Structure 1
Amino acid sequence: MLFGALQAFYGPAIPALREEFGLSPSAAGLALSAHFVGGVGGVLVFDRLYGRTGNRRMLGASYLLMALGAAGFALAPNWPLALAAALLAGCGFGGLDYGLNQLFAVGFGHRSTAMLNILNAHFGIGAVLGPALIGAVGAEHYPVVFLVFALANLPLLFCLRGVRDRPPQPPQGRAAGEVSGAAARALRSVLAVFVVLYVLHVGIEAGVGGWEPTHLESVGHSAGIAATATSVYWLMMTVGRFLVAPLALRFSPQAIITVSCAGMTVCLLLAAVPDLAPFAYAGVGLFIAPVFPTGLPWLHRAAPHARRAGALVIAASLTGGVVAGPSLGKVIEWSGVRAVPLLLAAVSAACLAATLWLTRATRTKPATRTKPATRTKPATRTGPVT
């Protein structure tokens, strides 16, 4: 929950940041960009050290980086130092993003998909409560919120004894270096499509969150309804992950993600109808919710020897969040705000196509049936069994 709240603090604090440091809107928005850039760096560093340095030490370092960065952001006397602190907090954020998702993906066996959805649902709770907290105390008091966040991270350092310090051994079979050329090419294709799926789905998530209020106002809804509908969208993402957790024990990840991509495509098409748009966006939040946490166990089963696969897709998801805003903004300049749901529906359809391709590419072939062995007469026991 703290992890989710940190990402959500920056946006509501922008008015106070602009007044305190004399910033333009785009300059104030660099705080969140610095946070995401640091997040990508944290993912890559954690992945480099994964398996070499103990998991408890890496998670503890991530908590400390988030705490130091948040405290630095609260106390920074000028904007360059504030950006550096946001970058530092982002490094801890990225390390924790990769570390917790990686550990949950491999640590709970067949329950990993359900547990990942519960983990990410609590991230969503933090993301919903973070802006509410800033709003309750007032944006001008954002330093107090960041300092309290920094202090709240420190007790977590004493809660790491339940984490296994080393990753479990990979499944028996060929080592990663012994994979045949054809299998290696197929694995690279699977990883590439997983990366595409994650970049596109995070682009949809960020695109709806960023442009839903503008689109709703452009089709005749009031600013209050637009803001409320956007909050409901984020809330439905959290609800969706809790709802999927029990379903993940009965249905495969590929089935869940296929239904999710199809559902959000339909909802985005319905969002083009002005009267239905607020409800349709809520449906998008519900359907997109399971994609990120459900895809990771599927990836680990599809590429058990590709240790860096998780880092690739998590870094891709963070990159997708950075790229989505300006990319979608350029397209909207050409097509107009009313085309937002249709543009995102096209991206969602690409997610569905990628999911169907991955389902086919990672489908395990059934074992060849063999003729049952001829039953033989058991040998006569002549001595003690050893």
Structure 2
Amino acid sequence: MVLGLCCLFFFSLGVTVASFGPLLPELSVLNQVDLSRMGQIFTFYFLGSLISQILSGPFSDRFGEKPLMLAATLLLMVSVATLPFSHTFSLSLLLFSLTGLGGGAIVLATNVLIARVYADRSVSALNLLNLFFGVGAFLSPALVGLIAGQTGNGRQILWLVSALLALQVVLFGWLRIPPPARTPQANAGTGMRFLLRSRLVWLLAFLLMLYVGVENGFGGWITVYMQRTANLPYEQAALSASAFWLALTAGRLVTVGLGMRLSAMRILALSLGGALAGSLLMVLGRGNLPLSTAGILLTGFSFASIFPSTVSLSSAFFPEQAGRAMSIINGMASIGAMVLPWLQGVLLNTISPTASTLLTLGGVAGMVLLLAAVRPLTRSTAPSSLPEAAGGFSDVLPR
């Protein structure tokens, strides 16, 4: 039940976040601002997420994940349900910030909870969890296009998400979750000061900063990019976003099994190699529909395991302060998500589509360099618990 409900949380979050990009043109008209300015919703969403990441880690370590997740889900439910009614740009930005507050806390709490409950097989369990984010993100753009075509109001998808979140609050309230193990606060080796001085923490943090920024920028602007470079109508261009999230979902399904056989470091290296090739295809294939489609699919597939594998490494090397370590790492990830999607929109709308794809390529290259710096530290550090690369698939099914 723990993994099953957490997967449902991530499904809802995937639907929500992946709807932002396809809804941009509609929100731009509704709020009477140009498309580039409307792209600030990504910055404000992840600003809220950044604040929640900073506050949620210590709260999770002290009180457990359940009260944090309940409060965050209620906040997300209310803000998402209110968004379709907003016709004022400043109010919309505030609501996206509140959505980010709730969503950021859910991301941190669920990843820490699953990494704790399934500590021996965290790579596979976290990939299964994030697989459901991908399922929701894959369905979302197509649903937005379908609803908009039928009703003229694609924002109605947010009301569906809000209803699903209300159900999850009820179910999760009934669920019994063991509290996290208490550790002596006097232990300097597990204190916040130790984490802030750890090179490994900061390398993982900058890696996720680039990844989350690049992923959300790519997924958020791919609809507009394909409209402009491949001359696709809106409904077909929105399917490009669905293709990206579908490929990401398929990659996570594959890495659920790979996590039983390969280490998190090996999976990260393979993922970044594929992402480098996919982002290069996007640069070279501008205006060419087959090449652009191949680049979208390869990039999405390769992105699949970067986030869960990084979370697995963090939880394995800092098991007694998993919440605080993830607070630092996810906080930096939120900064990337605040800046890079906005920057990608500026490049796309004011310079050229090629400039926006070069940003993706540069971000992936930066992640490759950071992983190279992480590798020797993971060999020299001796964590008290590491994710096992053994066991059966049934060991990570919901319970």
Q: Does the CA contact (< 8 Å) of 1:68 and 1:88 recur in 2?
A: no
- The aligned amino acid for 1:45 is L
Q: Find the counterpart in structure 1 of residue 378 from structure 2.
A: 362
CA offset at residue 91 of structure 1?
1.3
Q: Find the counterpart in structure 2 of residue 233 from structure 1.
A: 244
Q: CA separation of 1:191/1:71 partners in 2, compared to 1, >3 Å: closer, same or farther?
A: same
CA offset at residue 321 of structure 1?
1.6
| 1:101-250 matches, cutoff 5 A | 101-138=111-148, 140-142=152-154, 144-160=156-172, 161-169=174-182, 176-178=187-189, 184=194, 188-210=198-220, 212=222, 221-223=230-232, 228-250=239-261
- The aligned amino acid for 1:194 is L
3-state SS, counterpart of residue 350 of structure 1:
helix
Q: CA separation of 1:29/1:155 partners in 2, compared to 1, >3 Å: closer, same or farther?
A: same
Give 5+ residue unaligned stretches, structure 2.
Answer: 1-10, 383-399
- The aligned amino acid for 2:34 is S
Find the aligned partners of 2:281 and 2:170 in 1 and give their Cα distance.
Answer: 48
Aligned-pair RMSD on alpha carbons?
A: 3.2
- The aligned amino acid for 1:157 is V
Q: Does the CA contact (< 8 Å) of 2:20 and 2:220 recur in 1?
A: no
| 1:279-298 matches, cutoff 5 A | 279-298=294-313
Find the aligned partners of 1:86 and 1:185 in 2 and give their Cα distance.
Answer: 30
- The aligned amino acid for 2:306 is V
- The aligned amino acid for 2:375 is T
CA offset at residue 315 of structure 1?
2.1
3-state SS, counterpart of residue 223 of structure 1:
coil
Give 2:263's match in structure 1, choosing from 252, 263, 267.
Answer: 252
Q: CA separation of 1:325/1:29 partners in 2, compared to 1, >3 Å: closer, same or farther?
A: closer
Larger radius of gyration between Structure 1 and Structure 2: 1
Find the aligned partners of 1:337 and 1:319 in 2 and give their Cα distance.
Answer: 23
- Of residues 253-262 and 199-208 in structure 1, the stretch that sits farther from structure 2 once superposed is 199-208
Q: Does the CA contact (< 8 Å) of 1:258 and 1:355 recur in 2?
A: yes
Q: CA separation of 1:94/1:222 partners in 2, compared to 1, >3 Å: closer, same or farther?
A: same
Give 5+ residue unaligned stretches, structure 1.
Answer: 367-386
1:71-130: per-residue Cα shift (whole Å, max 9, x none)?
A: 222344644434333322221111111111111122102221111111111111111222
Find the aligned partners of 1:348 and 1:78 in 2 and give their Cα distance.
Answer: 36
TM norm structure 2: 0.79
Percent identity reads 23
Q: Find the counterpart in structure 2 of residue 34 from structure 1.
A: 44
Q: CA separation of 1:148/1:229 partners in 2, compared to 1, >3 Å: closer, same or farther?
A: closer
- The aligned amino acid for 2:340 is A
1:275-311: per-residue Cα shift (whole Å, max 9, x none)?
A: 5342133111111110001111111222334441111
Q: Find the counterpart in structure 2 of residue 43 from structure 1.
A: 53
Q: Does the CA contact (< 8 Å) of 1:112 and 1:297 recur in 2?
A: yes
Q: Does the CA contact (< 8 Å) of 2:145 and 2:238 recur in 1?
A: no
CA offset at residue 250 of structure 1?
1.2
1:41-62: per-residue Cα shift (whole Å, max 9, x none)?
A: 2222222311333422211111
Q: Does the CA contact (< 8 Å) of 1:8 and 1:127 recur in 2?
A: yes
- Of residues 204-213 and 237-246 in structure 1, the stretch that sits farther from structure 2 once superposed is 204-213
- Of residues 86-95 and 100-109 in structure 1, the stretch that sits farther from structure 2 once superposed is 86-95
TM norm structure 1: 0.81
- The aligned amino acid for 2:106 is L
Give 1:313's match in structure 2, choosing from 315, 329, 336.
Answer: 329
Find the aligned partners of 1:302 and 1:135 in 2 and give their Cα distance.
Answer: 43
- The aligned amino acid for 1:168 is A
Q: Find the counterpart in structure 2 of residue 52 from structure 1.
A: 62
Aligned length, in residue pairs: 361
Find the aligned partners of 1:264 and 1:345 in 2 and give their Cα distance.
Answer: 8
- Of residues 269-278 and 102-111 in structure 1, the stretch that sits farther from structure 2 once superposed is 269-278
Q: CA separation of 1:146/1:214 partners in 2, compared to 1, >3 Å: closer, same or farther?
A: closer
Q: Does the CA contact (< 8 Å) of 1:110 and 1:249 recur in 2?
A: no
CA offset at residue 64 of structure 1?
0.6
Q: Does the CA contact (< 8 Å) of 1:195 and 1:316 recur in 2?
A: yes
Q: Does the CA contact (< 8 Å) of 2:140 and 2:242 recur in 1?
A: no
- The aligned amino acid for 2:109 is G
| 1:4-83 matches, cutoff 5 A | 4-76=14-86, 78-83=88-93
Q: Does the CA contact (< 8 Å) of 1:73 and 1:83 recur in 2?
A: no
- Of residues 46-55 and 330-339 in structure 1, the stretch that sits farther from structure 2 once superposed is 330-339
